[in-house]
Structures are given as structure tokens and as C-alpha cells.
Amino acid sequence: GGGGLGAHSHPSRALSVTASAPLDEAVLVAALSAFGTPRSITPLPQKGAYTATFFDLRSAVAAAQRLHGASLSGARVRCRFLEDGGWRQGVLAVHGVAHTAHNVEVASLFRSCGDVMDVLGGGALRVVSFYDIRHAYAALALSGTEIHGQPIHVLSAALAAAAAGGGGLSPLASPSTQPFGG
């Protein structure tokens, strides 16, 4: 699993949220929503324990940093990041990119759909990462768009890995343990 919020933790869109005393779910929902739209908030069998996932990585990071150690309705809150296959969430494989295109140009095109975290790779294959998985879904529509006169093909990293024999067909946001391209 993920660590605490120390130097060794790996930010993800999924958080484990534990309260020292039973907490009204509405209070928790309001507290988490202050940082961005939660994708899901799931109560766990242990009293006061929840799993919360966000669409936007930045929302999850802000919620974890601000709520960890805070007090909600008198209950002390602990947050830690969970392994969520987060490297693949919001990640797109872009095939058929003109070799003459720079990653800055690729990022500029994809920014029309939302904030781009980074663009990696070179040659015909680039990997575009979004902070928000909803923006990555929107960017799938850029398939067929031309860069330097060459049409590109956009796939979620999960689908690209599946096509390469790296696992079953799973939606862009589903957790996965398969590394990209492996």
C-alpha cells in the first residue's frame, strides 16, 4: 500500500481517511469536497474509516495535506495515499506523432482539454499525463487530429497496454497493476 504523508509517500487519487471517532459522513463529504469533486467516498467496515478517490490528482494531494492531523467534529483525521494504479489514471498513449513535433506542441494541443501534467517520449509515440482523469477522457476525442500534417491516434494507457498484451481491457480510470507497455 501507500505510505503516510511523509517523504516516501507516492501521491495518488485514492486516499485512506481514518477518524479517531465515528464521524458524520456528511461532515467528511463536505470536508473532502472543499478540495475538489470526489469521485467516490466509500465507508469501510472499520468505524470511522473511508476510502476517498478524486478525479483530479491535485485535489487528492491538497485534501491529504490539509486534512491529515486535522480535527473534524472533534475527531482526529489521518490520511494516507493508497496505491490506485495512479500512474495510469489520466495517462494517454499518443501514436503516429510526426517525428518533427516537439513535446511542447503535443502538450499545447492536449491542453485544449485540460491541464497537462507532462508529455514524455519521442518519435511516433508520446505519453500524455493529465492531472484530472475527466480531461484525459475528453482528450480521447483528439484522435485523428493532425500534428505537422500527420493524424494522431489517442488511446488510454490501459487500452494501449491491453493491446500490447499487458492485461484486459479496462477503463481509463480503473486500478491496474500492469506497467505501461509491459
Question: Per-residue pLDDT tens for 26-36?
Answer: 999 999 999 99
Q: What confidence category does residue 22 fall into, taking pLDDT thresholds of 50, 70 and 90?
A: confident
Tell whether 99 and 57 lie within a shared domain: no
Cell triple for 96: 503516429
Same-domain check for residues 126 and 108: yes
Torsional class of 148: left (φ above 0), alpha (ψ -120 to 50), beta (otherwise): left
Q: Which domain holds residue 66?
A: 14-81
Is the domain of 62 the same as that of 100?
Answer: no
Of the three residues 24, 47, 81, the one that is the final residue of a domain is: 81
Q: Is residue 109 part of a domain?
A: yes
Annotate 80-115 with b (16+ C-beta within 10 A) or e (fewer).
Answer: bbbebbbebbbbbbbebbbeebebebbeebbeebbe
Q: Is residue 52 part of a domain?
A: yes
From the CA atom positions of the chain, what is the Rg in Å?
Answer: 18
Residue 166 binned pLDDT confidence (cut-offs 50, 70, 90): low
Q: Which of 23-32, 36-45, 78-87 has the lowest mean pLDDT?
A: 78-87
75 and 96 share one domain: no
Give me the mean pLDDT over the 73-102 stretch: 88
> CA 172, CA 155: separation in Å to the nearest integer?
9
137 has a pLDDT exceeding 80? yes
Q: For residue 181, what pLDDT is reported?
A: 35
- The residue that leads in pLDDT, 163 or 153, is 153
Task: Please indicate, yes or no, whether residues 96 and 145 belong to a single structural domain of this protein.
Answer: yes
Question: Where would I find the H helices in 11-152?
Answer: 25-33, 57-67, 103-110, 133-139
Q: What is the mean pLDDT of residues 116-139?
A: 95
